[in-house]
Structure 1
């Protein structure tokens, strides 16, 4: 169950990272409120996952999910670069996430 919680914590991390861009420097109220809520949920879920997962593993997976999701949404929503090298690097991050899952009891 901790892995499922951690996965959702990572998704909310993606939400607040994307939301952060939408706040336009915290000048827009609704995106700012939604971003802060997403931050709180993400950190709360991470804290719950840490009850049974090792700190280093959980943090690495949490940030990895956030990184991969944010990069992919940056490509889809903001037209950021999707060159092969960039996608290969994202693949390496994903491989690291899977690897950590496989070696963590």
Structure 2
């Protein structure tokens, strides 16, 4: 058997954009994954309230896109770091979205907890 190579690579983007490193592309992909996760969170909340085809589509598109972009990021970043940062951004984003748009509690404890998540994510980014 030959060596295993994945078809999931975006090296052509690194080659096409002057000054773009593969590591930077990896972080861009993690951020895209987090943005799609935010869409998935909104879709999930809306779908749990009103089971419409549109809300279900947003829910599936958001989480499906999130996993796809995260998968691509693994080509350029350590899986453990990319996954942890994605989870941190997604968790903090979900809490903030639900506080701002869906009336969830804005207690000091929740806000402090989100800040701790953000500090952890930034710390992982700087040490990797």
Structure 1 residue 27: deviation in Å?
Answer: 2.4
User: What secondary structure sits across from 1:87 in the alignment?
Assistant: helix
Structure 1 residue 24: deviation in Å?
Answer: 2.3
TM-score for the superposition, normalised by structure 2: 0.77
| Higher-RCO chain (CA-CA 8 Å, sequence separation at least 6) | 1
More helix by share: 1
Gaps of 5+ in 2: 1-24
Is 1:11 matched up with 2:51?
no
Higher Rg of the two aligned structures: 2
User: What secondary structure sits across from 2:48 in the alignment?
Assistant: coil
Q: Which residue of 1 aligns with 2:5?
A: none
Which of 86, 89, 105 aligns to 2:113? It is 89
State the alpha-carbon separation in 2 of the partners of residues 18 and 34 from structure 1.
Answer: 8
State the alpha-carbon separation in 2 of the partners of residues 13 and 26 from structure 1.
Answer: 19
After superposition, residues 1-105 of structure 1 pair within 5 angstroms as: 1-24=25-48, 27-104=51-128
Which stretches of structure 1, 4 residues or longer, exceed 4 Å deviation after superposition?
none
State the alpha-carbon separation in 2 of the partners of residues 27 and 86 from structure 1.
Answer: 29
TM-score for the superposition, normalised by structure 1: 0.92
CA contact (8 A) 1:19 1:32 kept: yes
Instruction: Report how many residues are paired.
Output: 104
Q: Which residue of 1 aligns with 2:19?
A: none
State the alpha-carbon separation in 1 of the partners of residues 38 and 55 from structure 2.
Answer: 14
Gaps of 5+ in 1: none
